[in-house]
Every structure is written in structure tokens, then in C-alpha cells.
Amino acid sequence: CWTLRWTNEIAASETLDQEMPIVAVGDKSYELSEVLASDRLDALFSDAWTGSRVWNASIFLSKQLLRLHDERQFITTALQSVCYLSYEERGDNAALADFHACSRDYLTHELVLQEGKIHFVQVGGRRMVAANKIVVCDNGTGCGFAAENFPRHVFPSLVGRPILRAEEAINRDVILKDVMCGDEAAYVRSNLQISYPVENGIVKNWDDMEKLWDYTFHERLQVNPKEMRILLTEPPLNPKANREKLVEMMFEKYGFEGTHISIQAMLTLYAQGLRTGVVIDSGDGVSHVVPVYEGFVPQHLIRRLDVAGRHITQYLIKLLLLRGYAFNRTADFETVRQIKERHCYTALDPVVERRLALETTVLEETYELPDGRVIKLGRERFEAAEALFQPHLIGVEGPGLSDMLFEMCQKADIDLRTEFYKNIVLSGGSSMYPGLPSRLEKDIKDRYCAEVLKGDKARLSKFRLRINDPPRRKHLVFLGGSVLANFMKDVDEFWISKKEYDEQGVRCIDKLK
């Protein structure tokens, strides 16, 4: 339990100007001046949370706020950091709820002195109403509201229907519905027939997508769409018919006041504070390499790879089968995904890694399955992610991620290549593999040296290549959407209004160009 509480232990006879607030951390109390002294910060909090990597990781973010001299924001952000990092490490939804409770406290409460103690007291009109009236929905990664730093809810884009069989027991606490969506379906997926409305980044089943949106808006966010605006994300090269259907659903089915659709790569750069760069976005269904120059996306340079998280999980199932472990049920997919996220990585040099796996046991790891069995993993740890760089391993034609990136940059205008190479940004859950940025850098430099410099390694030192791998790039698209929606909340030209849709129909999407 991570808590910080404000108290005041100064005699009541002293004036407020002379009183120094006391911050109670665990079972110890410190003066506020001590808390705000950066040289005391690490020692202070390590007393209460010894050995907690989650808390230590939050110290970095908290230290940055010391420059703001806003004590309440410092304390609140420290709490937010702890709660969110706890969620990322343990998948603890309660911690994510705590994080948003901290956000609400900061926006709607103020510090006041009551009966000799400092309290958070709720006040009216503190929340930014306009920003809080905008839903940001990035299907597959998260949903929330504008001006928030992280998604309010994170769940997979899947829909499940009960299977009539009695092979596996059902937890008595779980009630199977006719249709289950998101994380509630993932929890009991062994008893469900699972379908994915979105395939390779494009909506294929609109009926299931509608059920997923119902779950998002009504059960998770609990909003009235008729009082809200919504910012949706889409992959590059999204078919026009798909976009038209998207706008039609938002207005006719849900009745949103306004809608905007943004390309995911643009939002990734906004989250990084850039207007020019290359985004490598790899999620669950599809991967893209997208160049952006001053907010403009050259369509002819976009590269698409139909290999992403779901395909790597399926490939890992095949690799484990060759090792003697059979994972062939729908329920096992989630288990193998967890194995992938915990143990898989990207090899800097696959040849060296294969030799290591063959001659030593240094790569071996164990994983305990839900039924108590323990399995061993060796070369499967890096072979699974290798499909991103060698798609032919899973039967997909075309170049891999490194080759697509190099070829795209070289086909760009010669004046833009330097900017593109210096501003490469990774985004999406499938870019989280340890070693992936280093592998991309190595492959790009090898090809640049061989094909551009004609093997002259002495000149390679002048080649400027920078790959940005933000630690929370899994939710970078949502963050960019949150920033953009908040910034443009009062700009009517940015949004397609319900009135415009009623007058023009789906032709109104031309406004988004």
C-alpha cells in the first residue's frame, strides 16, 4: 500500500505563515523542506519502500517536478508514478484505478488547513470540463479522456461467445454472458470462442466491433456519448470505406457531438514533441513504417508488414510444439502471450545466439504454467521475435522491419533522409522486446555502410542514426491523442460535428484531409 498523507504537528498558536507542513511517509514524518531537497529524496523514500523497484523508478519522474516548486503536484505525481508502474509490472487493475483517483484528486481537490491539519478538500469547478468531455479511443491499447497521461482502461480488442462443452470447470464467481468483450472475455477465454474484430489494423467484423464499443463506452468509461466528442485512431493506408463506416457508427449508433480520426504515427510523434520523423509502429495485428514531414505523411513511402504481436505468439506456439510442449487450445493463447512478454527478446546477431543456445545453457529460462507444470525455454526466446526481421519464417513474403526502414529512408527525398535517420521513434506493444532498438541500429548501419558508403567503414562514424525507444511506448499513441484532443478542444475546424454529418453524410470525412 503506497500512501502519502499530509499532517501538521505545529502548535495551533502559531500562524499559518510560520507553519511547516509535515509529510508522513510510512511510519516516519519529515518536514516538507526535507522532501523537496533532491539530495534527501532517495534516502527518504527508500526508508519506507526498501527494495521496491516500482517506487525507485517513480523517483526519477518525481525529481523532475522539483523544478516546478509545486509541492502538491510533486506528491500527486509520485503517487501516480507508483500506481501506474505497479500496473505495468503486475497487471494490477486496482493500481490503475488508484492512479486515476490520484489524477482526480489533483484536479478537483485543494489543500486547506482544518483543525491543525492539512487536508485534501473537494472544490467545485476545478476540472477542465472541455477536456473531460472528449473520449480518446485507441482500439487494442487503451481508452480514456483528453488531457490524461495514460489510458483509463487497457484491454484487448477481442469478443468471446460461450462454447457448449463441459471439458473445463468454470469459476463459480464468473457468470458467462452471451457475448463477452475485452478483459472480461480474456479472463475466461478457455470457455469462449474468441474472435478479433480488427485484423491487420482494419475492422473486419463491424457487429463485433459495435459490441466492443458498447463495452468501452457504457461499461468501462461509463459515459453518455451524446454529451461527448471522440478522437479515434487508425492505421496508415486505412481504406476510405473503413473510415466512412467508422464515422457513420460514431454519429448514427452512438450520437457523439463531434468526431476526429487521426493516424497513429502522427499521434506518436506528437507524444514525443516532434513534427518530423519516422515511426515504427508494431502492435497486435500489423506493423508499419511511417515517415512524417512537418505533419504531412507521404503516402508513397509508407511500408506495411503483416507481422505483429499476434503472429509472433502463434509462431512461439509452433516453436514450443517442436520442443515437445503442446499449446493448441484457444485458452493457451493468453498463456503463451505471457511467456512471450516475459522471456522473449530480440537477438543482436541471430547466428551468435543460435550457437550459444546449441553449445551452452545460458539462454535457458523456466516458466510455470497455470496448471503447475514447469517448461523450459531456450532458443525459442529469440527465434519468436525474429519473425519481425525475417517474415518468411512464418510464411509472409516481403522484407523485414530493418529492411523496410532502410529502403523507405533511401527512397525519400535526399534532403529529408538525414532528418528521418535522426528521428526514428518506436511505438506499440510489439516494439517492447529487449534488444530491438540495438538490432535495428545494427542492421541499418550494416546496410548503409555496404550500399551507400560502399564498404568504407571510416566514414560510418559521420552517419547520424538515432532510434528513440520511450519506456512507455506501448501507450504512446493514446498519449499523443490525449495531447492533441486537449490542444484542439476549442477548435471547431478540427472536429466533424453532428450537424455536419447530418447535412453531408459520410462526405464530411473530406474535412479530415
- pLDDT attached to residue 267: 93
- pLDDT attached to residue 176: 82
Domain positions in the chain are 4-124
- pLDDT attached to residue 171: 58
CB-count exposure of residue 349 (10 Å: 0-12, 13-18, 19+): exposed
Strand partners, 426: 280
Cell of 410: 533511401
> pTM to 2 decimals?
0.72
**Which of 300, 274, 279, 283 lies closest to 291 in space, CA to CA?**
279
The predicted-structure confidence for 266-319, as pLDDT tens digits, reads as follows 999 999 989 899 999 998 888 999 999 998 899 999 999 999 999 999 999 999
The predicted-structure confidence for 488-507, as pLDDT tens digits, reads as follows 988 888 999 999 999 999 89
Contact 415, 458 (CB under 8 A): no
- pLDDT attached to residue 129: 38
Contact 476, 487 (CB under 8 A): no
Sign of torsion over alpha carbons 153, 156, 161, 162: negative
- pLDDT attached to residue 330: 66
Residue range 191-208: mean pLDDT, rounded: 87
Residue of higher predicted confidence among 324 and 69:
324
The predicted-structure confidence for 385-429, as pLDDT tens digits, reads as follows 999 999 999 999 999 999 999 999 999 999 999 999 999 999 999
Cell of 106: 489533483
Give CA 468 to chain center in angstroms.
15
- The radius of gyration computed from the CA coordinates of the chain, to the nearest angstrom, equals 25
- pLDDT attached to residue 2: 32
Q: What's the mean pLDDT when you consider all of the chain?
A: 78
When pLDDT is cut at 50, 70 and 90, the band that residue 119 belongs to is very low
Cell of 168: 473445463
User: Count of CB atoms within 10 A of residue 304's CB?
Assistant: 16
Most confident stretch, 24-33, 124-133, 327-336: 327-336
Secondary structure (3-state) at 409: helix
Q: What percent of the chain has pLDDT over 90?
A: 52
The predicted-structure confidence for 348-364, as pLDDT tens digits, reads as follows 999 999 999 999 999 99
